[in-house]
Amino acid sequence: QKDGFRFFMEKEIYEQSDVVSDCMIGRIQDNSINFDEISPELLDGINEIKICACGTSYHAGLTSSYLFERLAKIKCNVEIASEFRYKEPLLTKDTLFIVISQSGETADTLEALKMAKKAGLKSVVVCNVDNSSMTRVADFTILTRAGIEKGVASTKAFSTQTVVLWMLALYFAKINSSISSELLQSEIKALREVPKSLIVEDRIHEKTKRLSKRYLHGHGFFFIGRDVFFPLALEGALKLKEISYLHAEGYPSGEMKHGPIALADPELFTIALMPQNLLYDKIKSNVEELSARDSTICSISSLEFELCDDFIKIQETNHYMLEFFEMLVVLQLFSMEISIRLGNDVDMPRNLAKSVTVE
C-alpha cells in the first residue's frame, strides 16, 4: 500500500523516477523518438496546436507550449478547459487539438475535446488511464504510464505528462525538420537524464522538512519563474494551496513589477525558481527587486544568490529541463512537509476530489 511512506503523495513523489523511465520505454530508441500510437501523417495540414486541460494538467500543457514552439516551431496556445468551453472558440482544421488529463474523466476537458471533434479537428489525448472517456473520444491516445495516482495532489502524473509532451515536441520537430540533428541528440541525451533528476535526495528532503517549520507561518506566497519555470511556479503554488490551505500565487517573475510587488514585505514569502541554464540573470534582477522591498526569499537553484534568505540547492546540470524536474521534486516535498506540519490530510485535502467529473 503506502510501502512505509507516510502518505500516498510521498510515495508517488518517490516513484517519479521509475515511472518516467517506464514512460520512455520504446519511445526513445537509440537516437530517435518514436510514438507507435500516432503516425507522422498526424501533422499533415497542421499549422497550430491548441492544448486544453485543467489544474496540474494545464500546467503541463503550458510548459509544453514553450517546447512545441521552441523545438517543433509550431504555434501553440493553451487554454483552461472550463474557459474554452464557453468562449465560442474559433476552431479551424489546421489545428491539432491536444487534451491532457490524468484521469481522462475531467468534465470540462472532456467537453472541450468533444467540441473539437465536432468541429472536425484531429485530436490527441495525453492520459494516464487507459479506456477512460477521453481515450474513447480522441483520435489518438498517448498513455503516460504513471500507474495509479492516489493522492489528490497530482505529482507523478505531472512529471510523466511533461516528459511525454517534451518527447512529442521532439517527435514533431523531427517530422517538421525544424531541428538540427545535433540539437535533437542533445535533447534526447537530456531526456535520458530525467529519471536521475527525479530521484529524491535525502539532503533535499531534509532541507524541505527544516524549512517547512518557518515557512508555514507565511502570510502569503509568491512562486516566481520565467519561461517553463513560470508554469512550474504555478504548479508549486497550486500544490501548496491545495494541501496546506495557504495562499499562494504563481507569477512570471518579470510581471511582478506590474502590480504584485506592492505586496512585498517580510511576511510575504517568495519561492524563486532560478535555473542556471535559462535566463538566470533576468530572474536574478527580479529577485533583487523583491529583496530590496524586504520580501523573504527562498531560492531553488544550483547557484547560491546572496540576496536570498534561504537556498535549496539542486544538482548542477547542463539543461534547463533537468533543472525543471529537480525543482519540481523540491516544490512537491516543500508543500507536503508544510501540510504535514499543519496536521492536514495530505492525500485527501478538504473540498477536493481526485477526479472532477462535474463542471
Pick the stretch among 68-76, 102-110, 257-265, 282-290 that binds ligand M6R (CB under 6 A). 102-110
Nearer to ligand M6R, 127 or 314 (CB): 127
Report the nearest approach of ligand M6R to the CB of residue 149 (Å): 9
Maximal CA-CA distance, the chain: 55
Which residue of 113, 152, 261, 331 would you call a contact of ligand M6R, by CB under 6 A?
152
Assess 106 for contact with ligand M6R (CB under 6 A). yes
Which residues ranging from 338 to 357 are in contact with ligand M6R (CB under 6 A)? 355-356
Residue 282 bears catalytic tag? no
Count CB neighbours of 324 within 10 A: 26
Q: Does 57 bind ligand M6R (CB under 6 A)?
A: yes
Residue with nearest beta carbon to ligand M6R? 55
Under the criterion CB under 6 A, does residue 82 sit at the interface with ligand M6R? no
Query: Are residues 271 and 258 in contact, defined by beta-carbon separation less than 8 angstroms?
Result: no
**Among 42, 46, 54, 271, interactor with ligand M6R by CB under 6 A:** 54
Q: Which of 103, 253, 317, 335 binds ligand M6R (CB under 6 A)?
A: 103
Q: Residue 63 or residue 109: which is nearer to ligand M6R going by CB?
A: 109
Contact call for residue 55 and ligand M6R (CB under 6 A) = yes
116-145 binders of ligand M6R (CB under 6 A)? none
Size of the site for ligand M6R (CB under 6 A): 16
Handedness of CA 100, 229, 205, 298 (dihedral sign): negative
Per CB under 6 A, 101 contacts ligand M6R: yes
| 153 in contact with ligand M6R (CB under 6 A) | yes
- Report the residue number, 10 or 242, with the smaller CB distance to ligand M6R: 242
3 state DSSP class of 317: coil
What single string gives the DSSP state of each residue in 15-39? HHHHHHHHHHTTTEETTEE--TTS-
Nearer to ligand M6R by Cβ, of 121 and 240: the residue is 240
Span 236-255, contacts to ligand M6R by CB under 6 A? 238, 242
| Residue tagged 535526495 (cell numbers) | 201
Task: Select from 10, 8, 16 the least CA-distant residue to 198.
Answer: 16
Q: Using the rule CB under 6 A, is 102 a contact of ligand M6R?
A: yes
Do residues 283 and 273 make contact, with C-beta atoms less than 8 angstroms apart?
yes
What are 290-294's contacts with CB under 8 Å, separation 24+? 290/222, 290/224, 290/256, 290/261, 290/264, 293/261, 293/264, 293/265, 294/264, 294/265, 294/266
User: Which own/partner contact pairs does 128-131 have at CB distance under 8 Å and 24+ positions apart?
Assistant: 128/101, 128/102, 128/103, 128/104, 128/157, 128/160, 128/161, 129/102, 129/103, 129/104, 129/105
What is the grid cell recorded at 172? 514533431
Catalytic residue set: 354
The site for ligand M6R (CB under 6 A) is made up of 54-57, 101-103, 106, 109, 152-154, 238, 242, 355-356
